[in-house]
Structure 1
Amino acid sequence: MSPLIEITDPKVFDPETIIIDVRAGAGGHERYLAGHLPNAIFATLDDDLAAHPEDPAFGGRHPLPAVKDFTGTLTKWGITPDSHIVIYDDKAAAMGGARLWWMLKAIGHKNVQVLNGGLKAATDAGIVLSTDDYQPKAAAAPYPTPAGYNGTADIDEVGEAAKSDDKVVIDVRENARYLGLTEPLDLIAGHIPGAENLFYAKNMDENGKYLAPEKLAEMYRSAIGNVKPENVIVHCGSGVTACHTLLGMASAGITEPRLYVGSWSEWSRRDLPIATDIV
């Protein structure tokens, strides 16, 4: 199953498909009520897909919720291990959609896809949006809770990987943040020494859809060279937009890279080496 699904695929509107609309930031619920896919469950990045950090220096600005809390949310949404899930957001999967996809894959859920192009793809296709506040029915049985999330890398692993010739750390933030020219969200500008920059927006075409798998594969291979996918670690500011690139990699058939959840928001608060290109 491709990790991406097109709005023209009838499975998107299959009554058995569970659709989840992920919104981020202030006013998310209001934007959802202004228009969403019919029967889409409302989810928020901050409350459903992240814990509230006591100190971003340990876990970053968007740490993962405890697994039991996440599976509890899935149960509340009526999801079972056999559910087919389609996810979207209003930022072409960059602000929550891909994060939820990654979290589901990280606990072993198989039948999950992201709507290519997000909400814009639906409106461009002339889909009539709903303005109701859809409330799902909880699943009859609790979603099984695994021991943890697979596919993560911690701060120590990232530091070692960035210095290694046979591993790659990819920073998907925009180039100005990577270079240390600006930092709108965290305390210190710059990047992890040795990390490569590959801005996540390069995953998309001019319509906000992912590039074709072969073009994505060419771009990623140029960045990681001959490094094995399991030795690739991807990060961003707080472990959200990095998932956009991990989704793109999966679309290109590169399925083993790991996520550094704490990302720059953790690294930059731990008195660790920081690189910039400011003279």
Structure 2
Amino acid sequence: MSFSTVVNCVTLAEHLNDPTWRVFDCRHLLSDVGYGEKVYAEGHLPGAFFLHLDRDLSGPMNGANGRHPLPDPQAFARKLAAAGVSATTQVVVYDDAGGMIAGRPWWLLRWIGHERVALLDGGINQWIREDRELSTEVPHSAHADLDVNLHDWVVTTEDVHGNLDRQAFCVVDARGPDRFRGENETMDPIGGHIPGARNRFFRDNLDADGCFRPAAELRREFFALLAGVEPAQAVMQCGSGVTACHNLLAMEIAGLHGAKLYAGSWSEWCSDPARPVAR
């Protein structure tokens, strides 16, 4: 049996010593890029490797491609293969922010053609709530082979700009409602949103414990948000293409398949003052 959306702590604990499973700690703070490595060193799930949002889960910035451009697919696959991930490996990713960061590697793995990837529901916080052990040991693994079979799941800024009049797809912004309205913008130089975008704050996918809400609830709310638009005609975005993956995961949990990612998101869109802004 393999998992492609979420797993709970009980299931993961049963497979911690399973050589066909690999776990990755993806904790990160946008305000402190060294945070993830620090807390990983202090204690992580036994056997978990570490992935850094900026170095491992993103590519280089050039000033016009957003704050977290997609990594080179082959380089990303090599990073995973170095930790022993092959085509038959069940990967589990986690963070301490309800999947805010870990949703990105979940999506990246599926993007490069690896379907056996799941997010630990509730993350390390739930693991600790269940009184499960942590480790400070850094794991090692023999290299594996991992091929890339890239899916066509990404839209470009040109695609989004061309869609302003055509409305062939629906853009959904995962940022908080205040940032969507152009208020309290602290991450990017310009506040606002892409004209015509709809807002679905990624945290609305979670319950009070930081676990994903039931599939039926997510399905009902995304249906209402899309208002007749097919899931495959939805494009998820956020500030930099990270929390948008959280909405993509929520849609998969809800059984709504086929949505794409605008990876550059608002940080790429607003890098050119000629592009229109809505508030």
Give TM-score, length-normalised by structure 1: 0.92
Output one character per residue of 1:146-166: Cα deviation in whole Å (capped at 9) or x when no partner: 3x4531111122233454455
Equivalent residues of 2:91, 2:116 under 8 A apart: yes
Q: Aligned residue for 2:26?
A: 22
Any runs of at least 4 consecutive aligned residues in structure 1 with deviations exceeding 6 A, and if so which?
none
Output one character per residue of 1:119-174: Cα deviation in whole Å (capped at 9) or x when no partner: 111001111111122233322xx32133x453111112223345445521000100
Find out whether 1:40 has 2:42 as its counterpart. no
Find out whether 1:94 has 2:100 as its counterpart. yes
The residue type equivalent to 1:192 in the other structure is I
Equivalent residues of 2:57, 2:76 under 8 A apart: yes
Residues 181-260 of structure 1 aligned to structure 2 (within 5 Å): 181-260=183-262
Distance 1:228 1:179 in 2: 25
Shift of 1:33: 1.2
Find out whether 1:114 has 2:112 as its counterpart. no
Find out whether 1:103 has 2:108 as its counterpart. yes
Distance 2:270 2:119 in 1: 31
Distance 2:68 2:151 in 1: 15
Distance 1:136 1:189 in 2: 44
Distance 1:269 1:150 in 2: 24
The residue type equivalent to 1:194 in the other structure is G
Output one character per residue of 1:50-95: Cα deviation in whole Å (capped at 9) or x when no partner: 012122x1x2111111111111111111110111111111211102
Percent identical among aligned pairs is 34
| Equivalent residue in structure 1 for 2:147, among 144, 149, 155 | 144
Distance 2:75 2:14 in 1: 28
Distance 1:11 1:156 in 2: 46
Shift of 1:43: 1.0
| Equivalent residue in structure 2 for 1:13, among 3, 12, 16 | 16
Equivalent residues of 2:82, 2:143 under 8 A apart: yes
The secondary structure found in structure 2 opposite 1:211 is coil
Distance 2:256 2:222 in 1: 9
Structure 1 alignment gaps of length 5 or more: none
The residue type equivalent to 1:275 in the other structure is A
Residues 164-175 of structure 1 aligned to structure 2 (within 5 Å): 164-165=166-167, 167-175=169-177
Q: Aligned residue for 2:162?
A: 160
Distance 1:212 1:202 in 2: 12
Q: Aligned residue for 2:61?
A: 53
Number of residues paired by the alignment? 270
Distance 2:215 2:77 in 1: 31
Q: Aligned residue for 2:39?
A: 31
The residue type equivalent to 1:273 in the other structure is P
The residue type equivalent to 1:22 in the other structure is C
Q: In structure 2, do the counterparts of structure 1 residues 260 and 229 end up closer, same or farther at CA, with 3 Å as the change threshold?
A: same
Q: In structure 2, do the counterparts of structure 1 residues 163 and 216 end up closer, same or farther at CA, with 3 Å as the change threshold?
A: farther
Q: In structure 2, do the counterparts of structure 1 residues 12 and 93 end up closer, same or farther at CA, with 3 Å as the change threshold?
A: farther
Structure 2 alignment gaps of length 5 or more: none
The residue type equivalent to 1:114 in the other structure is L
The secondary structure found in structure 2 opposite 1:133 is coil
